Structure 1
Amino acid sequence: MAKARVQALRQADQLAIHQDDLKEEEIEETLDESADPLEESGRTMDDSSEEEVEDSVAEDILRFEESFTGINKRYRLINRIGEGTFSTVYKAEDLEYDNYNNRWDIDERENRKWMSPGHQRRPSRRPHYVAIKKIYVTSSPMRIFNELDLLHDLKSSDSVCPLITAFRHLDQVVAILPYFQHRDFREYYRDMKISEMRLYFKSLFLALQSVHGKQILHRDIKPTNFLYNPQQARGVLVDFGLAERQGTDWHQCACALTSEERRYKISHSVYAQTQQSGHQTSSYPKNEIRSSRRANRAGTRGFRAPEVLLKCTQQNTSIDMWSAGVILLTLLSRRFPFFHSADDIDALLEITSIFGRKKMKETSLLHGQVFETNIPSYSDAGHSLEKIILWCTGRTGDKSGPKKELDDEEKEAVQFLYRLMECDPTKRITAAEALRHPFITKAFEDTEDDEDMVDLVDA
């Protein structure tokens, strides 16, 4: 009789983090910076044959096996499939797959649906792959515990990579996750049709609906953290290393006040006093006594929402929706990465170049901050997303010819994009609302049509 994975944790090298160890240390801000999208590794895997392994990767695998006693008895490491700021991920064959109840294995469940009852009871003979995430020892115990705790809570969530089990050996912790075959985003983002984008975001928002439903912020939504298989029109959300529960370390921000309260606070601020004293632009007070604002800025450059850049101290799940909007903008513009800033100031200026100075000033005041720039090329109104996409796709060059416009499907996608890239987080669309938006509901209709065709063939 199959044993549950939980029993294995109790019998062997289980993760045992004591309460005494759960003390958050001061972490450098750079540790909250996820790897640049262009620097992260990602590849298309073919399970039908053994992929070639570079010598440096083979040496890395050997060092890992030597440092983590017993790992090679449970898993046969095959290749390194990801490398980021906080961890390295390996593809491995699960050597003890048949000894456990593997409810996490979606592909095996799908395959067994079509088997006869006799074959369903037999152990599977094909190799089964997992992803082994080696979390770097430089990560704080609290960060590691938090990631595993959140993954455990999300184990039954749609389109979210579940935690199979975890092990600890000395100061090294590894998480065992399902291996999902997928394609590198860079291989298909330039060629994706609108109908394919609908399916992509349907899967992504199903994942975010599950995550946000449990009041969890992923904080690092980007293409490399959503493993998508275009052939199956199915993706899975991974890497919860920066995720947190909503409300963690919250402090009051002006965005949580009523409009009247916010106007009163602004009118009595240092900013208002400098304006009243005759200064046309903001100036710093000569003797600054206020402490600097601290807020969670974790994420990846180019995907952070405006409120993250403005150090809002009451960030919520809407930050993930902005990041999803950046992915959609990337697909529509055929440019990756779309934003490529060096720091938070550059990131704010990039957003300003699209949405304009007026919108950015309003957004800053919403969070009790002041935004000023004297760069002459930035207009007050900014540019429409339609114009940005036409420019990026080379449809604005010929001034003498007829005016080029987006087609009807692109226009619908842009209207949806405006709901995602709304600078005011209180007005930004939620994952649940996104799944009911016409842009996404058409993906459900297409899926139902395909199922009807299958039923017709079966009949």
Structure 2
Amino acid sequence: METPVCAETFPIDGCVKSTSKKSKTSRSVESDIESLYKAVPQLAKTFRIIEKIGEGTFSSVYLGEARMRDGSRDMFALKHLIPISHPTRIAAELQCLTVVGGRENVMGVEYCFRKEDHVVIVMPYMEHQAIVDVIRLLSFEEVRLYIYHLLKALRHIHQFGVIHRDIKPNNFLYNRKAKTFALVDFGLAQGTADTQIELLKDLLGIRKSQRPVFSERNLNSCTSAASTTKQTNRTESVRPGDLSNRRLPSARGGPASVRTHKLQRTAQQTFTCSCFQTDRVCNVCLARKQQVAPRAGTPGFRAPEVLTKCPNQGTAIDVWSAGVILLSLLSGRYPFFKASDDMIALAQIMTIRGSRETRRAAKAFGKAVLCSRELPRVDLRELCETLRGRRPSPDDEVPPVTDGKDTGKGSTGKTPAPLPKGQDPTPGEKPWSGLCDERGWDKVPDEAYDLLDRLLDLNPNSRITAALALQHPLFKGL
């Protein structure tokens, strides 16, 4: 691309659009921008930073304008990395953007500025809409296109042996008008055993020999532990602070609590766990050292193998997150899962996918999951259509009416019940009506729910890959 003009120095004062009444928020943003200019002075020679457009745990993102040599003005996204990040982690993120980015719906990098421990990554700016703002306005065809392009991005990075580890709508930018997409934020990325990103290999060595970056270890492909579970002694793997009997509403209205156990080989042990399959946690388990496993990602999008602290995690965790996104898009609910801790998150998954299926999948990667209630597997089409308002909920009451005339108790006519409590109707949409839906939600093919089922396979070893998902019949014609 064309290089920006560096001769012009933009003034720090007035770098943010001023208003007559400055709110605390705007004053805080101005202060952040001034601090960034001071931390990385060379930015002022090239960019006029307009506003802060994003903020995360390890970085902040700003919108900047640069004057190009031909006199035009271009917009860029400036990502300022918090100085506590490990240098190799920062370099690995840059290498991911350089080697993998710039194609196949993956964001690339244009420039990088560094001053001491402050690093600013400059990327093309892409206008986009937040999914939470448009999810109830999207047509089914738009949803099909969205998930297709997300899977294209995942296939691309997985071919390079990169696990993104934080797939969510906020990290997959979507311009609805231009129909453009971009996967961003490789700050938590890890490499598979055969990764082509050299610095991700270095991170693997750092985790093995030094204090982990972000307090995590980097172990990759998920393998079956079925052959190692013979003659096992099951022991509780919870922290003392997490030992309360966590209870939450189950799919059938009763309380349910979930606990996970680590399956270990029988070994010489001074003490034996006595709480397995009971409603308490014994002192042996309370004294057990916390299990260390990668746990990156955003709550609500973490795969079962992440929630149960499986030490071997691969590219399948990104595919699960894509499945959660598709579940949100088909049901019109975002976020779909929202839990305060991992055990509640796992129980929420079990209310959809079934407790028996969850136990079976957990056993495949060396875990034992217990649930106080038996939770049946839910039909995904019925679930999504009910939440979207295209069919009545089993709990809804349908009042008897006729064609406008009150006939008393003898009336047997029925009319659609109101939307479930808390569900707002989409403008112009008639709940669970037989009329044609111009957005296509009355004609969602079975292939959509078949793909959803494969993306949300509880077992990472049999979960569909991004490459195979792109060959699914749902995407015929794309």
Please give the TM-score of this superposition, normalised by the length of structure 1.
Answer: 0.72
Of 135-144 and 344-353, more deviation after overlay is shown by 135-144
Q: C-alpha displacement at 1:67, in angstroms?
A: 2.4
Among residues 289, 301, 304, which one is paired with 1:303 in the alignment?
A: 301
> Which residue is equivalent to 1:440?
475
> Which residue is equivalent to 2:241?
none
Name the Cα RMSD after superposition.
Answer: 3.2
Among residues 36, 52, 70, which one is paired with 1:64 in the alignment?
A: 36
Q: Which secondary structure state, in structure 2, belongs to the residue aligned with residue 150 of structure 1?
A: helix
Q: Would you say how many aligned residue pairs link Structure 1 and Structure 2? A: 366
Q: Which secondary structure state, in structure 1, belongs to the residue aligned with residue 95 of structure 2?
A: helix
Separation in structure 1 between the aligned mates of residue 234 and residue 108 of structure 2, nearest angstrom: 49
Q: Which secondary structure state, in structure 2, belongs to the residue aligned with residue 79 of structure 1?
A: strand
> Which residue is equivalent to 1:396?
392
Structure 1: which 5+ residue stretches go unaligned?
A: 9-49, 99-122, 445-459
Separation in structure 2 between the aligned mates of residue 280 and residue 415 of structure 1, nearest angstrom: 34
Separation in structure 1 between the aligned mates of residue 63 and residue 218 of structure 2, nearest angstrom: 38
Alignment of 1:336-351 (within 5 A): 336-351=334-349
Q: C-alpha displacement at 1:392, in angstroms?
A: 1.5
Q: Which secondary structure state, in structure 2, belongs to the residue aligned with residue 383 of structure 1?
A: coil
Among residues 38, 51, 75, which one is paired with 1:79 in the alignment?
A: 51
Q: Which secondary structure state, in structure 1, belongs to the residue aligned with residue 338 of structure 2?
A: coil
Q: C-alpha displacement at 1:65, in angstroms?
A: 1.1
Which has the higher relative contact order, 1 or 2, with Cα contacts under 8 A spaced 6 or more apart?
1
Q: C-alpha displacement at 1:163, in angstroms?
A: 1.4
Q: Which secondary structure state, in structure 1, belongs to the residue aligned with residue 367 of structure 2?
A: coil
> Which residue is equivalent to 1:33?
none
Separation in structure 1 between the aligned mates of residue 182 and residue 351 of structure 2, nearest angstrom: 33
Please give the TM-score of this superposition, normalised by the length of structure 2.
Answer: 0.69
> Which residue is equivalent to 2:10?
none
> Which residue is equivalent to 2:209?
none
> Which residue is equivalent to 2:161?
215
Q: C-alpha displacement at 1:231, in angstroms?
A: 1.3
> Which residue is equivalent to 1:353?
351
Separation in structure 2 between the aligned mates of residue 60 and residue 280 of structure 1, nearest angstrom: 52
Conserved 8 A contact 1:310-1:367:
no
Conserved 8 A contact 1:194-1:410:
no
Separation in structure 2 between the aligned mates of residue 172 and residue 419 of structure 1, nearest angstrom: 42
Question: Do the aligned partners of residues 410 and 392 (structure 1) sit closer, same or farther apart at CA in structure 2, a change above 3 Å counting?
Answer: farther
Q: What is the letter of the counterpart of residue 163 of structure 1?
A: V
Conserved 8 A contact 2:275-2:282:
no
- Higher strand share goes to which structure? 2
Among residues 171, 191, 195, which one is paired with 1:245 in the alignment?
A: 191
Question: Do the aligned partners of residues 431 and 385 (structure 1) sit closer, same or farther apart at CA in structure 2, a change above 3 Å counting?
Answer: same
Alignment of 1:96-245 (within 5 A): 97-98=68-69, 123=70, 125-245=71-191
Of 244-253 and 194-203, more deviation after overlay is shown by 244-253
Conserved 8 A contact 1:147-1:240:
yes
Q: Which secondary structure state, in structure 1, belongs to the residue aligned with residue 84 of structure 2?
A: coil
Question: Do the aligned partners of residues 251 and 324 (structure 1) sit closer, same or farther apart at CA in structure 2, a change above 3 Å counting?
Answer: closer
Are positions 1:256 and 2:220 aligned together? Answer: no
Separation in structure 2 between the aligned mates of residue 382 and residue 330 of structure 1, nearest angstrom: 18
Q: Which secondary structure state, in structure 2, belongs to the residue aligned with residue 168 of structure 1?
A: strand
Q: C-alpha displacement at 1:68, in angstroms?
A: 1.6
Q: C-alpha displacement at 1:279, in angstroms?
A: 7.6
> Which residue is equivalent to 1:429?
464
Separation in structure 1 between the aligned mates of residue 37 and residue 188 of structure 2, nearest angstrom: 27
Separation in structure 2 between the aligned mates of residue 136 and residue 156 of structure 1, nearest angstrom: 24
Question: Do the aligned partners of residues 286 and 320 (structure 1) sit closer, same or farther apart at CA in structure 2, a change above 3 Å counting?
Answer: same
Separation in structure 1 between the aligned mates of residue 325 and residue 115 of structure 2, nearest angstrom: 38
Question: Do the aligned partners of residues 327 and 51 (structure 1) sit closer, same or farther apart at CA in structure 2, a change above 3 Å counting?
Answer: farther
Structure 2: which 5+ residue stretches go unaligned?
A: 7-15, 20-25, 194-203, 205-216, 236-262, 399-413, 417-431, 435-440
Separation in structure 1 between the aligned mates of residue 280 and residue 362 of structure 2, nearest angstrom: 16
Question: Do the aligned partners of residues 321 and 163 (structure 1) sit closer, same or farther apart at CA in structure 2, a change above 3 Å counting?
Answer: same
